[in-house]
Structure 1
Amino acid sequence: MNSNALSVVSRLPQHYRLSGHDDGRRLEALPEPLQSREDSLTGLKLLSHGHHSTYDALCAIRSHLEGLQIDSLILTWEGEPCLFLHSDDESTAMCALKTAGAAIAENISARYPF
């Protein structure tokens, strides 16, 4: 995963779930009271990377996470490919990405709401 040392990943601000429409690959954002559900997903958006395409970079990240037994899938959200994983795996995935050299961008207002 050395090529991900140039990747910058940001967590999407909401939690999501797969809806039961058609092929099950449609996402919907969860309202805040439902975000602790067992089936909620966390989304990761790639801000920059060292690959030819965002999809290729997400595939490399997904492959790295699968090697650590963290399931994820690549779906389009708001017109861009994003990586989605079970919310319970978020901390483990973020640690794995940091260890592999990816930078994690955080919304500063979420940490310091002044």
Structure 2
Amino acid sequence: MLQHSVVHRLPQSYRWGTGSAKLSVEPLPLVLNGVADDDDLIGLSLLSHQGEQAWDIMQMIKEALADIKLECAVVEWDGQPCLFVTRHDESATTCRLKNFGVGIAETWRNHSVL
């Protein structure tokens, strides 16, 4: 089921919500110098599945990451299940997901040549 899944990175950085043990997240304000803390979180959302199936897929992804000792949590964000990992684990996360056949959607930028 994972090999038919596609995720994309949410556009902001996040942190764990106050007073919760990885039960909620909140967006971080924009960083002025463009440098973020290693404790900042990145979020991944599914493009390929919706509803209950999306929650099931995200739990499978979480388990795949737990197999390699990556801490993460599945939290509802904007009505959808999203996976949150620390910024310094982003590369390992995407590598692991690609090894399972999960597609990673990238922002496509059109760079015009003058």
Q: TM-score range by the shorter chain?
A: 0.7 to 0.9
Q: How many residues align?
A: 108
Per-residue deviation, 1:31: 2.0
The aligned counterpart of 1:28 is 26
TM-score (norm 2): 0.84
TM-score (norm 1): 0.84
Check 1:113–1:87 CA distance in 2 against 1; reply closer, same or farther (3 A cut).
farther
Residue equivalent to 2:7: 9
Relative to its length, the structure with more strand (as a share) is 1
Unaligned runs of 5+ residues in structure 2 are: none
Q: Distance in 1 between matches of 2:8 and 2:38?
A: 22
Displacement after TM superposition at 1:113 (Å): 5.4
Check conservation: 2:39, 2:88, Cα contact below 8 A: no
SS in 2 for 1:13: coil
Root mean square deviation, CA, Å = 2.0
The structure with more radius of gyration: 2
SS of the counterpart of 1:14? coil
After TM superposition, the runs of 4+ consecutive aligned structure 1 residues lying more than 4 A away are none
Consecutive unaligned residues in structure 1, runs of 5 or more:
none
Distance 1:113 1:44 in 2: 25
Higher helix residue share: 1
State the alpha-carbon separation in 2 of the partners of residues 47 and 37 from structure 1: 27
